[in-house]
Chain A
């Protein structure tokens, strides 16, 4: 690529490095997976293996999110919405986390309000949001994770809930500005919510934009993340 500017902006340096890191990680994960069948069963089901799988997913999710935020910043994040079937979409997200869920002994379920429920959204973008939220939920869930979808007055709602401790009170209180709640204990969660909010807002219909919401309690007793897509 020819660059007319004399110096490089730091954000460009980061983005291009993250891009390489992502490729490197992809190769690492893939090689690791090839190697797995040779492991003795006791190692395959060890705690360490669970940690490796989980951190792989987390790292990948963070890199995808970072690239997404970079592109949002320079207005280069492509939005390609289309009609998708919710059950199919949710199953695909759960399949991506199968190893981690198994290694953590978490049962994940998918519930769609009606057969053949459809939504109009950018599959890739929503998938990266959901992946981050699921990764986060896995960290806090005890044994159950539920992804639900339904329609509310023409707006599609996708919710991810767990049976963990729930979101900290401070985060619930500062829903309108997730960046404010960024601190050391909630850093990645807060950034994930910020990213989710931006992606939700990209989706709109007749002037109405999508948004997100977090709450605690029902249906599994832990945290619940909701994304509303008009």
Chain B
């Protein structure tokens, strides 16, 4: 038995008898520092103030968050280190496991009832494992993927018992580092030996990002034959099918996944989106409503779910008229959205437009007009721009609400900011055929492409000239501004001149309008950090 006297324990369970008896067991194991909580919310707040070494969390707490939700929030909020041991205590383990997301698994499950011998055996083993993995876990805490790889290599050499675990950490690190060829090789080799669920999902994901959709589909379909109870596989296959234009099949798959595991905000949101695309407004309403309700107590709360719900409810209008009950439902949804995101200007604009669209169908033209005008007035002073997807939705709403001019302006902005993405240009082309909008970015785009080519060939000076020229033509384009900034920093090296730094900072100031959910946000922050230092 190990020494537990210096370990900090947290017990979370809604049964006070159980907490007391577990605490007594831990004391018999020598534990001195044992805190207790009866709700997930309390557990989160305790973890904000104290670093626990071992958390024993009941899965099903009755009211409030369940154990899985708490674990996800702890990991995403970085409230616990990777070195912390998280044990999920369950009455029945299989249910909890189905509901757990693969990327946020607890270190172990412990099924009630358990005796002291089981608890002690389990904890001893987990401490031993975490100690062996320490170099990897510390590197993970520092988000140092290269160090993770190095630590994995040396540990799996030392002790083959940890080799399977190391492979999983290795795969994660290779993905972070963008070393995709190596990642594909690792996963394919692993899967040739055995159908390992996590590796199937990782390979499917990878193949999809590499554009190899039929291969990705094959991987998922094969895996689902062996593991029909794995919601993550349904998510993956649905994404591939939807990318291949098979929206209806994708929706059916997600409906199944939601039946298996309904407590997943992102899955419900994805289902809502697909159902909207398929004009299945009933399913879309149900999915978005679940996402909104679960989001109230979660870090995965997202304004898109409120907007999606509004759109799905509006879609249920019959013969162009919306019944009172639906309108009432929409009014409540919009009102909660506006209150929840009162500081988000982009959300405020979108809420008003979505509300106005529904009011038109209810026959309240006056109120619809008032809200539309409010939205247009606010468009001018947005601190951060919409995502490309949101911008296109807003432009289309504006057009339907009779604001063609505002719609065109918005599309023009969208081209300038996101025009280097062919998918965005395709979406815009669906809404307009105005050459002044569609053709406005072509020259800059070509310059940007030449810049990327030069940069890849190591000709950083030439790349900079191309990027500068591109940015001069499209001064708000995020990619071009980021590329220019990166080239400047690259050329400047360690001792960048003040003039160069100033130009770089000016570029990055342009990119301030980028929404935080943009995939390039992390790159922007890194460059900002380099150009501005610690601010």
Contact = CB atoms under 8 A, between A and B. Distances in A.
Nearest to B94: A78
B121 A76 contact: no
Contact of A205 (B21, B109, B113, B194): B194
A113 B164 CA distance: 20
B118 A78 contact: no
Contact of A95 (B18, B113, B118, B165): B118
A33 B125 CA distance: 24
Interface in A15-36: 19, 22-23, 25-27, 29-31, 33-34
Contact of B113 (A60, A75, A81): A60
Given A95-B121, A96-B117, A23 B91 contact: yes
Interface residues of B, number: 37
19 contacts: A26-B91, A26-B112, A30-B21, A31-B17, A34-B21, A60-B113, A77-B229, A78-B94, A78-B98, A81-B196, A82-B164, A91-B121, A91-B125, A92-B125, A95-B117, A116-B159, A118-B161, A124-B94, A124-B109
Given A75-B228, A205-B194, A30 B97 contact: no
A26 B121 CA distance: 20
Nearest to A56: B113
Interface in A77-95: 77-83, 85, 88, 91-92, 95
Contact of B121 (A27, A81, A92): A92
B197 interface: yes
Contacts of A60: 113
Given A22-B92, A71-B94, A116 B227 contact: no
A200 B113 CA distance: 25
A228 to B, nearest CB: 16
A116 B226 CA distance: 27
B386 to A, nearest CB: 37
Interface of A: 19, 22-23, 25-27, 29-31, 33-34, 60, 67, 71, 75-83, 85, 88, 91-92, 95-96, 98-99, 116, 118, 120, 124, 204-205
B122 interface: yes
B94 A30 contact: no
Most-contacted residue by chain B among A25, A60, A77, A83 (CB, 10 A) = A83
A13 B348 CA distance: 49
Given A71-B94, A91-B121, A92-B121, A33 B227 contact: no
Interface string B6-49: 00000000000110110010000000000000000000000000
10 closest A-B pairs by CB: A83-B164, A78-B229, A95-B117, A98-B117, A95-B121, A29-B113, A116-B161, A26-B113, A95-B118, A26-B112
A77 B94 contact: yes
Contacts of A98: 115, 117-118
Contacts of B324: none
Nearest to A230: B194
B93 interface: yes
B114 A96 contact: yes
B335 interface: no
A76 B229 contact: yes
A78 B261 CA distance: 12
Most-contacted residue by chain A among B94, B159, B160 (CB, 10 A) = B94
Contact of A30 (B93, B113, B160): B113
Nearest to B22: A30
B109 A116 contact: no
Contacts of A34: 17, 20-21, 24
Nearest to B102: A80
Contacts of B117: 95-96, 98-99
B111 interface: yes
Contacts of A95: 115, 117-118, 120-121
Contacts of A76: 229
Nearest to B97: A80
B109 to A, nearest CB: 7
Contacts of A81: 196-197
Interface in B83-101: 91-94, 97-98
B161 A85 contact: yes
A221 B118 CA distance: 29
A99 to B, nearest CB: 6
B404 to A, nearest CB: 45
Contacts of B118: 92, 95-96, 98
Contacts of A25: 113
Interface string B120-162: 1110010000000000000000000000000000000001110
Given A19-B92, A96-B114, A124-B97, A30 B18 contact: yes
A118 B164 contact: yes
B18 to A, nearest CB: 7
Nearest to A117: B161
A50 to B, nearest CB: 15
Contacts of B93: 124
A98 B92 CA distance: 21
Contacts of A30: 17-18, 21, 112-113
Contacts of B115: 33, 95-96, 98-99
Interface in B214-229: 226-229
Contacts of B111: 124
